[in-house]
C-alpha cells in the first residue's frame, strides 16, 4: 500500500502513544481517520487537534475486549466513510510481576485488550476489507498489529504481557500467510517495539472496574512497574519515530517492524537456545544491571 491520500485508517488506542502518532502521520498524508479509545478526554482532545490540521475524524469510545464494541466501530467507519483501507490493531496495556502472583483479573484484563482486541480487529475488519476489495479493483489495504519485543522474548516479571504479545506475533504471522493464500490485496505487519515512551507504564489509569485487582501490588509487581517506568522513560526512540517507521514498512510491504533492531541479538540467542535444546538463557545477559535491579527490589519487598 503506497497511496494514502483520501484513504481511511482505523486506529484502536488512537488517543495516545503509538496510536496518536499513527493518526498524526495519517493526517499529514491526507487520510480520513477513525480513532477508538477508552479514555474519553484524550480521545476528544485528539479529535479536536487532528481536525484543526484539516483531517476528517470519527472518534468513538471502544473497549476492544468486547467484540460488539469493535463491530460497532467497523459499522460506524463504513457508514461515515464507505470503506476501510488501513487498520491499526494497536490498543494495549501492561501488567507485570511474578507470573504466579497475577490474579485472574490481571489475566482477563491484559489478554482482553492485548490479544482479544487484536483478534476482534482481525476477524471483523479483514472480511470488511476483502469486501471493499471485491467492490473496487484498485483497492489496496493493510493491517498492522502492535505486538512487542516481549512477543519474541520472555523477560522475567512480565509474564502476562509476554504471553499476550507472543500470541499477537503468532496471530499476525498466521494472518499474513492466510492473506497470501487467497491472493488478497491486503498486506499485514506486526510491530514489535522495545522500550519507547508511550504511557503504557500508566495503563492502570484506564483499568475497567470489572477487572480491577484486589488488594495492593506485590513486591514483584512494584519492581516490574519501577523497571518499566525507568526503561520506558529513558527510551531514545520516540513514538513519533516508530510511527514513521511503521508507515515506511507499509509502503514497502514489510511484515516485521522493529523499533530497536539491535535488540534482535537477544532474539537470536533465544532461537539458538531452542535449536540447540539449551535451557532458556538470561534475557538480560547484555544488560545485567536490569536483572540486578529487579533482584534487589524483590529482596527489599
Higher pLDDT, 229 or 144: 144
- pLDDT at position 258: 97
pLDDT over 70 (residue 201): no
Domain contains 22: yes
Residues with catalytic function:
161
At 301 the pLDDT is 67
For residues 115 and 121, give the distance between their C-alpha atoms in angstroms, rounded to a whole number: 10
**Mean pLDDT of the 78-90 span:** 98
1 domain residue, yes or no:
no
161 within a domain of the structure (yes/no): yes
List C-alpha distances in Å: 257 to 149, 189, 260. 10, 7, 9
| Residue in the block written with cell 487498520 | 87
Comparison of pLDDT for 179 and 200, the residue scoring more: 179
Per-residue cell: 214: 484486589
Does 20 have pLDDT greater than 80? yes
In this predicted model, which residue has the larger pLDDT, 201 or 209? 209
Which candidate, 263, 267, 73, places its Cα nearest to that of 166?
Answer: 267
Report, as an integer, the average pLDDT of 235-253.
94
**3 found inside a domain:** no
Average pLDDT estimate for 127-151: 97
Task: Give the CATH number for residue 271.
Answer: 3.40.50.720
Whole-number percent of the chain with pLDDT over 70: 97
What does the pLDDT read at residue 112? 98
CB proximity list for 121: less than 8 A, separation 6 or greater: 12, 64, 70, 87, 89, 143, 145
User: 201: helix, coil or strand?
Assistant: helix
- Reported confidence tier of residue 215, pLDDT bands at 50, 70, 90: confident
Residue 92 inside a domain? The answer is yes
Q: Is residue 234 part of a domain?
A: yes
Report the number of distinct structural domains present in the chain: 1
Give yes or no for residue 191 having a pLDDT over 70.
yes
222 inside domain: yes
Per-residue model confidence as pLDDT tens digits over 169-182: 999 999 999 999 99
Q: Which domain holds residue 207?
A: 8-300
2 belongs to a structural domain = no
For strand 57-61 and strand 141-146, is the pairing parallel, antiparallel, or unpaired?
Answer: unpaired
pTM as predicted: 0.94
Q: Determine contact, residues 177/190, Cβ cutoff 8 Å.
A: no
Tens-digit pLDDT profile for residues 89-106: 999 998 899 999 999 999
Amino acid at each position: 500500500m503506497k497511496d494514502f491520500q483520501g484513504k481511511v485508517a482505523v486506529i484502536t488506542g488512537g488517543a495516545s502513544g503509538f496510536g496518536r502518532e499513527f493518526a498524526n502521520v495519517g493526517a499529514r498524508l491526507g487520510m480520513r481517520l477513525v480513532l477508538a479509545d477508552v479514555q474519553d478526554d484524550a480521545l476528544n482532545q485528539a479529535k479536536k487537534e487532528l481536525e484543526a490540521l484539516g483531517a476528517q475524524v470519527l472518534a468513538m469510545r471502544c473497549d476492544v475486549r468486547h467484540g460488539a464494541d469493535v463491530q460497532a466501530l467497523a459499522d460506524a467507519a463504513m457508514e461515515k466513510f464507505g470503506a476501510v483501507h488501513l487498520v491499526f490493531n494497536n490498543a494495549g496495556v501492561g501488567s507485570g510481576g511474578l507470573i504466579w502472583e497475577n490474579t485472574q483479573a490481571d489475566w482477563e484484563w491484559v489478554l482482553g485488550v492485548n490479544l482479544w482486541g487484536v483478534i476482534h480487529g482481525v476477524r471483523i475488519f479483514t472480511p470488511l476489507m476483502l469486501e471493499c476489495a471485491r467492490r473496487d479493483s484498485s483497492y489496496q489495504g493493510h493491517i498492522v498489529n502492535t505486538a512487542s519485543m516481549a512477543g519474541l522474548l520472555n523477560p522475567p516479571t512480565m509474564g502476562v504481557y509476554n504471553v499476550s504479545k507472543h500470541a499477537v506475533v503468532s496471530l499476525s504471522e498466521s494472518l499474513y500467510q492466510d492473506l497470501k493464500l487467497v491472493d488478497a490485496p491486503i498486506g499485514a505487519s506486526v510491530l514489535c517495539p522495545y522500550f519507547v515512551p508511550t504511557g503504557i507504564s500508566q495503563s492502570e489509569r484506564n483499568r475497567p472496574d470489572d477487572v480491577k485487582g484486589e488488594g495492593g501490588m506485590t513486591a514483584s509487581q512494584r519492581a516490574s512497574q519501577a523497571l518499566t517506568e525507568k526503561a520506558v522513560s529513558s527510551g531514545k526512540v520516540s513514538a513519533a519515530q516508530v510511527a514513521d517507521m511503521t508507515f515506511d514498512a507499509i509502503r514497502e510491504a514489510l511484515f516485521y517492524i522493529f523499533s530497536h533492531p539491535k535488540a534482535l541479538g537477544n532474539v537470536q540467542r533465544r532461537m539458538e537456545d531452542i535449536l540447540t535444546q539449551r535451557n532458556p538463557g538470561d534475557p538480560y545477559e547484555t544488560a545485567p544491571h536490569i536483572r540486578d535491579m529487579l533482584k534487589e527490589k524483590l529482596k527489599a519487598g
